[in-house]
Amino acid sequence: MKEILNKIHSYIDEQDLFEDGDKVIAAVSGGPDSMALLHYLLHHAKKQINIEVAHVDHMLRGAGSEQDAIFVETYCRKQGVPYHHASLNVKKKMETDGIGIQEAARAVRYAYLKEIMVETRASKLVLGHHGDDQAETVLFRLVRGSTMKGRAGILAKRTFAGGFLVRPLLALTKEEIEQYCEHYHINYRQDPSNATDSYTRNRIRHHIIPLLKEENPSLNEQIKRYTEEVREDEDWLLQQAEDQLQKRIIEQNDQLIKIERKNWCKEAPPLQRRMIHLILSYLYAKVPTSLSSAHTASVRKLIEQKHPSGELHLPKGLLVQRSYSTVAFHFVQSAQALPYSFRLDQNEAIDLPVGGKVIAREGLVEDLDESIDFCWFDSTGVEWPLTVRTKKDGDRIHLKGLNGSKKIKKVFIDEKIPLDLRGQWPIVTDASGRVLWIPGLRTAQGVEKPADGNRAFTLIHYKDLLGGHSSC
């Protein structure tokens, strides 16, 4: 156990995580990681710190999550540690913002922890993430697509709520944390959702990381070295990008950044990518989670193309317009009024201008989250590529049980879709122009789950602006 304690001590010193006199809020869920963290802070921290605990009930597991809160509160009372608690409605957040369950849970949790930090005038928020979480995050972001900064993984220390968010256990493996709990006879709670393979992170945790550790038992050390080197490289490159971007901007305000193209194209691709990231961070009050490396690649392609003009729609109404020697990034006056049309081929994804995403994925994708619309179809029964677009005058869809077709305008009326949403609602057609699917509303006659799974495709609509409707 001395070796594990020394690893934590050394990591805290190396990352400069605590100072004498710090007032810290420990985020404690009741699981093994956070209970080990709290025990360490109470009994082994080398610095003189004042500890309070915050617990969040996400209201997702009924009596189970209530028992977690009671367990943590009871432990804190026995230890004489001030305890803060909140029950937060994650499902309501999902419905309001049109986001997935994990993103919603994270959003409400961090908002509450920020409030507690400010309320108690704490200098540090302490979280129990460990080395396996780091490996999981790096792999998850590599699979999903991320910037180089994102691929650097979880930070040991970052600014948060006027102070810092710190993670002292990143130097430990999950196994070492379990050893710590066993050695000190620390009781903890288990979240059943961690055992399911419904989420990508869980599948990485349960299947990919164990396999990689079989190949290299020192996986966590390799990931740690990788993240540190990537972060150092990224910091240096980002500074170079900031310096060069200032030389390329010819007009800038809160809603617009215009650059000159000629010298931009002379920069190395790593700097171009980072300059794009900087422009997006300047313009977005909060960068949408739907933005990915694919958007960066699309912007670079638009800037470098031979054709002198073109435009690209990014999430939340941000428009990139190329016109001869200049490229403008700006928000349109009314994103709702802009029509769009995107080509969608097999195993491709389209980000919609006002939020949401449509994917054509091979095979029968099942057990999707409630916040997602989907339909199955036989790939041989449509003409590729597909198109995802806004409605046009006269659009019709052939529906089961009808002799003939029905105007999409009438579908919107029957489904009581608000007027301000109809102009941006996605419609999926094949190359012949046949309407296949109106996500969340209607599927065309003949578009159904194929008997032959080898010919199957699944159309998936991750909702954002258009949340709250179930596919028919």
pLDDT digits (tens, 9 = 90+) for 114-148: 999 999 999 999 999 999 999 999 998 888 767 77
Burial of 47 (0-12, 13-18, 19+ CB in 10 A): middle
Q: Distance from CA of residue 403 to its chain's centroid?
A: 44
Helix ranges restricted to H, 152-292: 174-183, 200-203, 209-215, 219-248, 261-264, 269-283
Say how far apart CA 174 and CA 196 lie, in whole Å. Answer: 18
Per-residue model confidence as pLDDT tens digits over 28-55 = 999 999 999 999 999 999 999 999 999 9
Find all residues with CB under 8 Å of 217, minimum gap 6, and list them: none
Tell me: is residue 30 an annotated ligand-binding position. yes
Strand partners, 25: 52, 125
Token reading at 225: 């070295």
Cα torsion at 325, 329, 330, 332 (round to 10°)?
80
Is 371 assigned to a binding site?
no
pLDDT in tens, 271-314: 999 999 999 999 998 888 778 778 888 999 999 998 888 889 88
Residue 34 labelled as part of a binding site: yes
Q: Reduced to 3 DSSP states, what percent helix, strand and coil does the chain have, rounded to the nearest 5?
A: 45, 20, 35
Q: Please report the pLDDT score of residue 465 as a whole number.
A: 42
The answer to the question of whether 353 is labelled as a binding residue is no
Domains of the chain: 2-217 (3.40.50.620), 228-333 (3.30.465.60), 338-462 (3.50.40.10)
Three-state SS annotation for 344-382: ECCCCEEECCCCCEEEEEECCCCCCCCCEEEEEEEHHHC
pLDDT along the chain (472 residues), means of 10: 94 95 96 96 94 92 86 96 93 82 88 95 96 90 75 90 96 94 94 78 90 92 90 93 94 90 91 95 85 86 88 88 88 65 92 84 81 87 93 92 88 78 89 94 91 85 53 34
Is 31 annotated among the ligand-binding residues? yes
Q: Given the DSSP bridges, would you call strands 256-260 and 249-252 parallel, antiparallel or unpaired?
A: antiparallel
